[in-house]
Amino acid sequence: MPTTRRQFLSFAGGVTVAGTIPIVTLRPVEATPAMLTTAIRNVVGEGPIRTGKVKLNIPPLVENGNTVPMTVSVASPMTADDYVKSIHVFNEKNPQPNIGNFYLNPSSGRAQISTRIRLADTQKVVAIARLSDDSFWQVTADIVVTLAACTEEVN
């Protein structure tokens, strides 16, 4: 198989790095499932998180983890008494477990947000919604990533 420029550069870069600094610092630490749990508890507190209401629309297989389209929507009437206060999105294996916090209010009309995210590895993405009665609802999606983001070298 012919070597592409990208492969050559990443190989050459790896050799340079390995030659100058200890191998333990080669890759930043990945967020672990424990870090994911901590990050979620920082937002949610100790209360229960129920499954349902939240819909996470994200491709199950992505070729390029640098830009992955994602839409989170929550089944809510969005009235003054019953609305979504915030949506929090987390990942399992990026160097940092947070992706974004999005704050809504009754005048949002529809509890739905879209953005584009980075995924460093094949992993789980968790979206949690906080409703106006302070209950938390979550959904989880598994995504297969073939080209990782975040930690690649700068050429």
Partner 1 sequence: MAALINVPAKAKRGDIIEIRTLTSHIMETGFRRTMDGALVPRDIITSFTCRYNGTEIFRADLFPAIAANPYLSFFTVAKESGKLEFEWIGDNGYSSTASASITVE
**53: nearest Cα among 115, 143, 130, 142:** 130
- Closest approach, Cβ 59 to partner 1, in A, equals 14
**Interacting residue with partner 1 among 47, 77, 109, 134 (CB under 8 A):** 109
Segment contacting partner 1 by CB under 8 A, of 7-15, 46-54, 55-63, 131-139: 7-15
Nearer to partner 1, 20 or 51 (CB): 20
Taking the C-alpha atoms of residue 26 and residue 38, their distance in angstroms, rounded to an integer, is 25
User: Per rule CB under 8 A, is residue 148 in the interface with partner 1?
Assistant: no
Q: How far is CA 82 from CA 15, 76, 104, 106, in A?
A: 57, 7, 12, 8
Instruction: Give yes or no for a contact between 132 and 82, defined as CB atoms under 8 angstroms apart.
Output: yes
Taking the C-alpha atoms of residue 147 and residue 123, their distance in angstroms, rounded to an integer, is 12
Q: Please say whether the dihedral angle defined by the alpha carbons of residues 23, 28, 34 and 38, taken in this order, is positive or negative.
A: positive
Segment contacting partner 1 by CB under 8 A, of 52-60, 102-110, 126-134, 135-143: 102-110
User: Per rule CB under 8 A, is residue 94 in the interface with partner 1?
Assistant: yes
Tokens of 74: 């929550």
**Interacting residue with partner 1 among 37, 49, 55, 96 (CB under 8 A):** 96
User: Per rule CB under 8 A, is residue 95 in the interface with partner 1?
Assistant: yes
Residues 54-83 that bind partner 1 (CB under 8 A): 66-68
**Interacting residue with partner 1 among 54, 119, 127, 139 (CB under 8 A):** 119
